[in-house]
Structure formats: structure tokens, C-alpha cells
Chain A
Amino acid sequence: MQVILAQALLGLNVGVFYAMLSLGLAVIFGLLNIINFAHGAMYMLGAFIALIGYSYLEQWFGISLQIGFWGSLIVAPLVVGLLGIIIERTMLKRLADLDHIYGLLLTFGITLILQGLFANYFNVSGTPYPGQPEVLGGVLNLGFMFFPTYRMFAIVFSLVVCFATWYVIEHTRLGSRLRAGVENPQLTQAFGLNVPLMVTLTFGFGAALAGLAGVLAAPIYSVSPLMGADLIIVVFAVVVIGGMGSIMGAILSGLALGLVEGLTKVFYPPAANTVIFFLMVLVLLFRPAGLFGKEK
């Protein structure tokens, strides 16, 4: 029982990353109709910004400054979000009227570029992130078991971010405007809302979420150029399972599938890295539009 609970919590830990990434994909997909393949690379970039900010600023850039974990939580999403905005403004914008596969292909190219760049300077097998704050060190006594404090923090923090995003989109004025833009861009623009700006900022926000997830992941997994690519394919399956029609659907399916993956590690370890793909097959067979799906 102990083992199962422990693995379930660890699974939930993976699940919050799935949730954050699939949430970002869903937000971007809603407004731009693009699947951002580079989402995984942006997650990796977030982790590397944390690592470089902590360990390499002086060595590489001659800046005697160290950005700690808390600083990275702010800096990395800003940088990654800004990169997203630049990519949207300079490249994705030109593809808006074309078949949506071109957006996927473009972001695939960007993935290769980012991944290749970091693979030149960092070991593909990973570099540990040394900047985990001391407050979050050690283990937490949950009564029935002990659990690493940092992982608990990552779970709670990600959940707060996910649900805050959901709240903003579903229950605020800003969110209602965004949803109007998703529903009918022309009409929304005719009402005087700046839809192109909304699109750009949304892409930037989605990218920032990926960057933030990367920072949170850095102390848990070692930081590697390939960390995003492996993850993003699983997140694609999560998105196929959940359907991208609803924000809450993206969050919940991310959490649930992380949990399933964690539990698979207990019962049948060799299938742990494929179980989500098999679930996707089942969903395709019995509920092709996805669990929360309304197909676009």
C-alpha cells in the first residue's frame, strides 16, 4: 500500500508537468489552431535558463550574478515567453492562412534548432541542477509516508498555476474576450478587440507556461537537451486522449495520465513508458473525439 501511494504521488508529480504542458498546447491551439511542436523544446529551454542562471552566468558571459531558483521561476518564463512572441510575430504569423500542418512543421524545425544548440554545449545524458533552495530540501512527513518536500512543492505550485489559468480563461473579462477570439476572430475584431495582439500574447503565455514547467522540473530530473522532446510526444498523446476543446479537460487528463503512469510503474514497470500510448489507442477505438472532445 505504501509503495502504491508513493508511486501515485510520484505519478501525480509527473502529471502536473503533463497538465501544464497540455494546458499550454490547448491554450495555443484554441486561438492559433497550431500544435506547437516546440513546446517540449521550450520546456527544456526553461530548465536550461535556470541551470545557466545558477551556474554559468559568470563563466560564460562574465556577469557576476547568480539567479537562484526563485529568480528563475520569474526569469525563465519571461525569456521563453518572449522567444515565443518573437517566433509568433516573425514566423507563425506568415503561416496563418495556410494548412495547419505548416505550423507543426515550422515548430518542428525550431525544436531541432533549439535541441541541437544545447546538445553542442551540454551532455545529452543530463546535468544536475544544483540550485534547489534549502527550504525545499529534505522530506515531508505526510503521516502515512515520507515524501520529498521539493516534489510536493512542485505539485502544489503547478496545480495553483493550472487552476489560476483555468479561472482567468473561464471566469474573467479577459478570458471571455479570449474565448470570443477563439469562437469567431473576425467578429471579435469587428467589436474593436485587437485579435492579432491577443494571438501573440497567448502564444507567449503558452510558451511561458512550458518554460515555467521546465524550471520546476530542473531540480527533479537532470537538465538535458533531450528532456523536452521525449516528454512532448507523451503530451501529444495526452492531448489526443483529452481533446483540446476544454481547458479543464487538458488539466485533468494530464493529471490523471501521470497518475496512471506512476501506478503502472508499480504493477508492470516495462510498460510504464508506453501505457499512455496504449490508452490513446483505446480512446481512439471507443471515443475517437477524445474524452472531453469537441473536434474542431
Chain B
Amino acid sequence: MMNKVLFAIMLVAGLVAPFLAYPVFVMDLLCFALFACAFNLLLGYAGLLSFGHAAFFGGAAYIAGHALKVWGFPPLLGILAGTGFAFLIGTVFGFLAIRRQGIYFAMVTLALAQIIYFLCLQLPFTGGENGLQGIPRGELLGFIDLGNEITMYYLVFAIFLVGFGIIYRAIHSPFGEVLQAIRENESRALSLGYDVDRFKLLAFVLSATMAGLAGSTKALVFQFASLTSAHWQTSGEVVLMTLVGGMGTVFGPVLGAITVATLTHELGSFGSWVQVILGTIFVVVVLVFRRGIIGEIHHFVEQRKAARASADND
């Protein structure tokens, strides 16, 4: 019930947003929201903390950008190329990372992502520290000009909804249930006959691919693939978004991404203080607000339900 209401709100807000706010900014939010949802699939449902998701987000942006700019791919195919790249490295990284558990998993993903970061910095086609610039937006299906911000916006919103839908389906399927069983108790899931490693790998690859979709879309929107997107700090930011909104909730990451990205945007003029503020939010959330915004609301509703049920019984 709550999810339906939230979805309706999100849909309406998404449709009217470009008329109320600067479209490019809202597109940025949507890309981060999809990125956070993809990340949440892994952390919130499979219980795996990846500290290397910037590799998929940022790496895909470079490949999409290169395909659009140099190979002259049409927009959708360019995004597909970036997403496909994220799928490939997601498969490799996932295969390697699930060989270690818990805290090691986080360190392995972080270190692997650093390889992609250095590739983005050093390969000849990436533009080094300046990033890959001048990516053309092109024309959708050959005749819809994406230079128009409003047109571009609705394409991004559609991509977001597709990605969100895929993640939603994955979570609310038998596959998602098994993931949660693994998160709660890995040995139990294993003893019930589930091939735990395969489920973890699938979740990892799906999450990486969707992160790649978000990153490729961002490259098309900004016509720019930046080194920042592939930096470990971006991996940290997506963790923060998910935590603030509520990990393991469907809409938490969307809300978290909007909150954190807006905050970063608004505080842009404070320079390095932004980092200090984000760090402080991190510390506060981890110490006293681990359920996140949506998680706290869920908790509150559940508690009231329980209270009412026990009152009825008396």
C-alpha cells in the first residue's frame, strides 16, 4: 500500500519536475537515484557492501561517451554500450569479490575499482584529468533532437523508470527472496540447497549493470564523462545516499540520492566544507539513524500497527 502511494508520488513528481526545477539538475538527480537503487539491490537485499560501484558508474560513462563521440553510435546504442561494459566488468569483479566475505568483500571491490579509475586516468582516449568532453547528444531514433532539455529529460525519466522497474521486479521475485535469505543467514540458505555464490554473483552483476545504465545516461546528459564519477569518493557517496534514504527499502535510495545530491549542489560554494559536512552526515547516520528516512517511516508504521493489534486483543 505504502509503496503504491510512494510510486504514484514519484511518478507525478517526475512528470512535472522539469517545469518546476532546472531540467539538467533533475536529470542529474535521476541518474544518481538509479545508481543508488542499483547499489541498494546489493547492499540492502543481498547484504553485500561494495565499495567499488563508481567503477561501473564512471567506467560505463567513458565507454558510452567514446561510443557516441568517436564511433558515432546513436544515443540509445551508446548507452547500451556503456551498460554492456558495466555488465562485463561487473561479471569479472563479482566473480572475484564473492570469493571473500564481509569486510574483505568491501576492500576487494574498492581495490578492483581503483584499476578502472587508473585506466580512466591513463588510457589514451579518456582525456586524463579533464575527462572525456564533447560527447554529442545526437537524435533519438534518428529524428528526435535531444538537444532540447525537455525532450532529453523525458528520455532520462523513461530510462530511470525502466531501470527502477527492473530492480523492483528483481527484489519482489523469488530471486529477491533468496537474496534476503542469504543476507539474513548465509549458511542457512546454503543448507536449504541454494547455490549462494550464484545468487550473489547474479545480484552483483545486475547491480553493476544498472549502475552502468545510470552512468552512461549521465554521460549523455552532461555530454561529459568525468574522472570524479570513477573515483572512490563516488563509491562512498552512493553508500551515503542509500543509507540516508534507507537501505533495504524500495524508495529509500531515490529519496537519499535526491537529498544528498541536492545538498552537495546547494553547498557547492563552500568548497571542501562539503566533504566535511558529508562526512559528518555519514557519522551521524551510522551512529543514530541506521534505518534511514524511509526505514524510520516503515518502522513507525509497523510499531503503530503492532500497538493497535495488541490493543484490539485486549
**Contact yes or no, A240 B100, CB < 8 A:** yes
Q: How far is the CA of A106 from the CA of B277 in the complex (A)?
A: 14
Interfacial chain B residues near A288, Cβ < 8 Å: 99-100
Give the size of the chain B interface in residues (CB under 8 angstroms): 40
Interfacial chain A residues near B150, Cβ < 8 Å: none
Interfacial chain A residues near B104, Cβ < 8 Å: 240, 295
Q: Mark B257-276, 1 if CB is under 8 A from A, else 0.
A: 00000000000000111111
**Contact yes or no, A112 B271, CB < 8 A:** no
Q: How far is the CB of B230 from chain A (nearest CB, A)?
A: 13
Q: How far is the CB of A67 from chain B (nearest CB, A)?
A: 25
**Is the CB of B134 closer than 8 A to any CB of chain A?**
no
Majority secondary structure of chain A interface residues (helix, strand, loop or mixed) = helix
Beyond A104-B49, A120-B273, A284-B108, is A109–B115 a contact (Cβ under 8 Å)? no
**Contact yes or no, B110 A116, CB < 8 A:** no
Q: How far is the CA of A112 from the CA of B282 in the complex (A)?
A: 9
**Is the CB of B26 closer than 8 A to any CB of chain A?**
no
Q: Which of A107-121 contact B (CB under 8 A)?
A: 108-117, 119-120
Checking B236, B276, B290 against A108 with a beta-carbon cut-off of 8 angstroms, the contacting residue is B236
**Contact yes or no, B279 A94, CB < 8 A:** no
Interfacial chain B residues near A237, Cβ < 8 Å: 107, 111, 114
**Is the CB of B151 closer than 8 A to any CB of chain A?**
no
**Is the CB of A229 closer than 8 A to any CB of chain B?**
yes
**Is the CB of A174 closer than 8 A to any CB of chain B?**
no
**Contact yes or no, A273 B275, CB < 8 A:** no
Q: How far is the CA of A284 from the CA of B271 in the complex (A)?
A: 39
Q: Mark B274-306, 1 if CB is under 8 A from A, else 0.
A: 111111111100110010000000000000000
Interfacial chain B residues near A119, Cβ < 8 Å: 271-272, 275
**Is the CB of A91 closer than 8 A to any CB of chain B?**
yes
Q: How far is the CA of A295 from the CA of B283 in the complex (A)?
A: 28
Q: How far is the CA of A284 from the CA of B104 in the complex (A)?
A: 11
Interfacial chain B residues near A221, Cβ < 8 Å: none
Q: Mark A31-60, 1 if CB is under 8 A from B, else 0.
A: 001110000000000000000000000000
**Contact yes or no, B111 A95, CB < 8 A:** no
Most chain B CB neighbours (cut-off 10 Å) among A95, A120, A234: A120
Taking Cβ atoms with an 8 Å cutoff, the residues of B that contact A are: 49, 51, 96, 99-104, 106-108, 110-112, 114-115, 118, 122, 232-233, 236, 239, 243, 271-283, 286-287, 290
A-B pairs with lowest CB-CB distance, top 6: A109-B282, A116-B275, A112-B279, A113-B279, A116-B276, A119-B272
Taking Cβ atoms with an 8 Å cutoff, the residues of A that contact B are: 29, 33-35, 91, 94-95, 98, 100-102, 104-106, 108-117, 119-120, 225, 229, 233-234, 236-237, 239-240, 270, 273-274, 276-278, 280-281, 284-285, 288, 295
